[in-house]
């Protein structure tokens, strides 16, 4: 789960607590809440940014830029205060999301590069494929190569994105040198035979998705069945009392190439020719 979402959850919890205190007229509790709130949130720019969601994209982006500029000014000369850095990263993530949605790919990539400077080591891995994805859109093999060399974690996702950047810049020899690595990933070996004809791949993809859906739909666990959950009067199950009855447990599923395709669907469908080329060269 991303840091932004973690913080969003905290905010939702706080709002729920506030509503509860107000509805009960608990003044002492309210006072305590306000004190805690001020201590916890000195400057939540990313929350203010979330409040801009209804503005047209260009206005939103300009305002976000202004807010970020102020944040950087505040940080200048200050020792990196962890809460400030955390707020900055959450704000940059919102800005990146909006830029990417508006297809302002180079700017979105630049934001990720800034995040890379401030991000805690444990989160860096999440940024690398996002940077490579944008480098593929803008065909920036220089930046992608540097990032891949320094941070590449050498999994299918990273290698595939790097291969795509090379392909798109016409550096086929470099892309070919990565092909051997693709075949070391079992999730890739599974789809490799279909790639040389993209229509065949899509058939396999559709089959996988329909099978996956059926598996999830009928993932019925007898052990979870409890007669108390069955309401004879309306002849229906009370699902509210029985979260586990119909299980869509994605954690049980292995990560597949099709999941990767879903994750980068715009980029991958735009570059079907690359996958066909890969398929022909395996």
Partner 1 sequence: MTEIDKAIIEIDQSEEDPVNAVIKMGQILNQYAYNQVMSASTKASQQDALVSALETYEYDLMALKILKPAREAGMLILELDPDDLNNITADVLYIDAQLSDTKHAQAVFEAHGKKDDLNHLLAMSLVHFKNMEFTQAKQVLEPMLHDPMVVELARELCEETLDDHLDAYFDCNDESPLGDFYDAWEEHGEFFEAHRGYFMWIAQYIMNENK
Residue numbers at the binding site for partner 1 (CB under 8 A): 56-58, 61-62, 65, 99, 102-107, 137-139, 167-170, 172, 266, 270-271, 273-274, 277, 280-281
**Minimum distance between the CB of residue 198 and partner 1, rounded to whole angstroms?**
13
- Answer yes or no: are the C-beta atoms of 175 and 145 closer than 8 Å: no
Of 256 and 271, CB closest to partner 1: 271
Of 48 and 105, CB closest to partner 1: 105
Of 84 and 160, CB closest to partner 1: 160
**Minimum distance between the CB of residue 45 and partner 1, rounded to whole angstroms?**
18
CA dihedral 78, 79, 80, 81 (to 10 degrees): -80
Q: For residues 159 and 174, give the distance between their C-alpha atoms in angstroms, rounded to a whole number.
A: 12
Q: For residues 192 and 188, give the distance between their C-alpha atoms in angstroms, rounded to a whole number.
A: 6
Q: For residues 48 and 258, give the distance between their C-alpha atoms in angstroms, rounded to a whole number.
A: 36
Give 77-84's long-range contacts (Cβ < 8 A, gap of 24+). 80/118, 83/42, 84/43
- The DSSP symbol for 225 reads -
Bridge pairing between strands 230-231 and 236-237:
antiparallel
Find the radius of gyration of the CA atoms of the chain: 24
**Minimum distance between the CB of residue 125 and partner 1, rounded to whole angstroms?**
26
Of 105 and 256, CB closest to partner 1: 105
Of 3 and 174, CB closest to partner 1: 174
Backbone angles phi, psi at 230, to 5 degrees: -95, 120
**Minimum distance between the CB of residue 192 and partner 1, rounded to whole angstroms?**
16
Of 176 and 187, CB closest to partner 1: 176
How deeply is 96 buried, as exposed, middle or buried, from its count of CB atoms within 10 A (0-12, 13-18, 19+)?
buried
């Amino acid at each position: 789960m991303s840091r932004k979402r973690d913080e969003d959850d905290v905010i939702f919890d706080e709002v729920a607590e506030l509503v509860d205190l107000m509805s009960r007229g608990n003044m002492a509790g309210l006072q305590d809440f306000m004190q805690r709130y001020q201590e916890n949130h000195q400057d939540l720019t990313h929350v203010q940014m979330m409040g801009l969601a209804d503005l047209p994209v260009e206005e939103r982006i300009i305002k976000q830029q202004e807010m970020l500029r102020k944040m950087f000014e505040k940080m200048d000369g200050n020792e990196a205060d962890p809460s400030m850095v955390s707020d900055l990263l959450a704000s940059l993530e919102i800005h990146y999301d909006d830029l990417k949605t508006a297809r302002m790919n180079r700017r979105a990539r630049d934001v990720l590069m800034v995040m890379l400077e401030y991000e805690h080591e444990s989160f860096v891995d999440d940024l690398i494929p996002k940077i490579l994805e944008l480098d593929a859109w803008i065909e920036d093999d220089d930046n992608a190569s540097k990032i891949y060399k320094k941070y590449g974690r050498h999994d299918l996702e990273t290698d595939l994105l790097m291969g795509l950047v090379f392909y798109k810049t016409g550096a086929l020899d470099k892309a070919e040198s990565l092909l051997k690595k693709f075949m070391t990933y079992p999730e890739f070996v599974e789809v490799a035979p279909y790639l040389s004809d993209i229509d065949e791949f899509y058939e396999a993809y559709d089959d996988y998705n329909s099978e996956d859906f059926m598996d999830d739909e009928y993932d019925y666990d007898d052990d979870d069945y409890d007669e108390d959950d069955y309401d004879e009067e309306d002849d229906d199950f009370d699902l509210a009392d029985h979260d586990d009855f119909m299980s869509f447990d994605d954690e049980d599923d292995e990560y597949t190439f099709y999941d990767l395709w879903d994750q980068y669907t715009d980029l991958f469908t735009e570059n079907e020719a690359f996958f066909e080329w890969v398929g022909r060269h395996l």
